[in-house]
């Protein structure tokens, strides 16, 4: 039986423009379109008076949430917990992320991701494997004992994983994983991101020419712009084929640096928001364990005992609010950075990241203060 719903009374942002006095019509979990709010319709009406309806947020880097951390428990239940935890904050699709760990942990994580697909876990869009093929010199909070080169068995495991997952994003160092390996991964549909890398501009450009298309958490754990060597940051801002994730919490990147990056990075490759959140998000915990080391929560940040940042204490709506209120972006552009642009980065923007006809009915209902009133995935309410 066909299910048809009209969401009325809200100002609607479809990913491109705002619409007033319109209703969002959803049929069987897909956007049918927008109609005048007072038009006759056989759809069941759901009032959202005075609210904002916006595309659901898409988080391509989320290590944990709601008490679950994928490195600790690489299971479908952990994935379900993570997805549900961030649905409370408007995220309708995410890539649960595992940082550098053992081969066995990666295998278990991939198996959990496949099970999440089979079980239809709401909000599960695929996986992000951040490591272990990184540069020790830019390890950040990753355990250096577990960082290693990519061998043929690793590459084949990733190619096989992509066959079973809707999306697979991997973070590698440009100087560790060569263009030939990048090319094979990209040809298999894996989204290759450069991160935790001391690579040169030339190395990142070679990776991009081989098929790498993303840079992980721009400015963090990567070579910076210099007068004679632009590094990973310079390559990310210069190369139009590269998109870049950004942790917008006021801690990981200075607001002036964010402004410079936004002015430099225009065109096909876009800067999008990520949370890099950990298990502690959505809880009142003050510490947790990451690959055998304690991470402490203090002053809005997550740090190892030596002060190294270890992920972020952030939600996507927090990042949107920061970009709009502190950086000064128009709200529509801040929303695109959390929805359309990440969808573009992993090539799912035909169905995700907007509310145009044919898209999945994934959206958030916000108050004027940008609080999340409710979250809908496939036209079904999952929060609120």
Q: Report the chain's terminal Cα–Cα distance, integer Å.
A: 25
Query: What per-residue string of b and e applies to 37-57 under the rule 16 or more CB within 10 Å gives b?
Result: beeebebeebebeebbbbbbb
Question: Known catalytic residue: 276?
Answer: yes
φ and ψ at residue 363, rounded to 5 degrees: -155, 165
Q: Identify the CA nearest to 311 among candidates 38, 82, 27.
A: 82
Query: Which of 101, 276, 313, 362 is an active site residue?
Result: 276
φ and ψ at residue 147, rounded to 5 degrees: -75, 135
Neighbours of 29 (CB within 10 A): 15
| C-beta separation of 316 from 148 below 8 A | no
Beta bridge partners of 274: 247
Pairing mode of beta strands 57-62, 127-130: unpaired
Q: At what angle do helices 152-164 and 179-187 cross, to 10 degrees?
A: 20
Please state, in angstroms and rounded to a whole number, the distance separating the CA atoms of residues 58 and 81. 16
| C-beta separation of 222 from 251 below 8 A | no
| C-beta separation of 217 from 257 below 8 A | no
Q: What angle (nearest 5°) sits at the alpha carbon of residue 22, between those of residues 18 and 25?
A: 105
CA quadruple 69, 97, 171, 296: dihedral positive or negative? negative
Please state, in angstroms and rounded to a whole number, the distance separating the CA atoms of residues 306 and 139. 14
Can you spell out the DSSP letters for 22-82?
A: EEEEEETTEEEEEEETTS--SSEEEE-TT-EEEEPEEEEEE-EETTEETTT--SHHHHHHH
Active-site positions? 276
């Amino acid at each position: 039986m066909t299910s048809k719903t009209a969401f009325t009374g809200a100002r609607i942002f479809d990913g491109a423009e705002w619409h007033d006095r319109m209703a969002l019509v959803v049929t069987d979990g897909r956007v049918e379109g927008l109609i005048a709010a007072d038009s006759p319709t056989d759809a069941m009406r759901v009032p959202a008076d005075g609210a904002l309806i916006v595309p659901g947020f898409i988080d391509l880097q989320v290590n944990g949430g709601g008490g679950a951390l994928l490195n600790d428990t690489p299971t479908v239940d952990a994935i379900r917990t993570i997805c549900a935890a961030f649905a409370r904050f408007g995220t309708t699709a995410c890539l649960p992320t595992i940082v550098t760990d053992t081969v066995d942990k990666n295998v278990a994580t991939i198996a959990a991701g496949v099970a999440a697909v089979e079980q239809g876990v709401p909000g599960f869009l695929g996986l992000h494997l951040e490591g272990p093929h990184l540069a020790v010199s830019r390890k950040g909070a990753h355990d250096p004992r577990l960082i290693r080169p990519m061998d043929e068995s690793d590459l084949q495991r990733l190619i096989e994983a992509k066959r079973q997952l809707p999306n697979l994003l991997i973070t590698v160092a440009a100087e560790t994983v060569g263009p030939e390996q990048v090319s094979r991964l990209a040809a298999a549909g894996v989204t290759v991101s450069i991160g935790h890398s001391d690579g040169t501009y030339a190395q990142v450009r070679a990776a991009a020419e081989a098929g790498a298309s993303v840079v992980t958490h721009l400015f963090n754990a990567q070579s910076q712009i210099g007068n004679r060597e632009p590094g990973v940051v310079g390559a990310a801002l210069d190369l139009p084929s590269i998109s870049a994730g950004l942790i917008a919490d006021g801690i990981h990147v200075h607001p002036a640096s964010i402004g410079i990056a936004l002015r430099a990075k225009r065109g096909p490759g876009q800067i999008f928001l990520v949370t890099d959140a950990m298990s502690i998000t959505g809880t009142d915990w003050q510490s947790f364990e990451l690959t055998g080391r304690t991470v402490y929560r203090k002053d809005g940040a997550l740090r190892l005992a030596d002060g190294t940042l270890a992920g972020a204490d952030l939600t996507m709506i927090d990042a949107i609010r920061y970009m709009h209120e502190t950086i000064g972006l128009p709200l529509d552009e801040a929303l695109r950075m959390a929805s359309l642009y990440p969808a573009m980065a992993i090539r799912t923007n035909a169905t995700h990241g907007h509310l145009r006809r044919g898209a999945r009915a994934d959206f958030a209902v916000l108050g004027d203060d940008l609080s999340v009133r409710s979250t809908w995935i496939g036209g079904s309410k999952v929060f609120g």
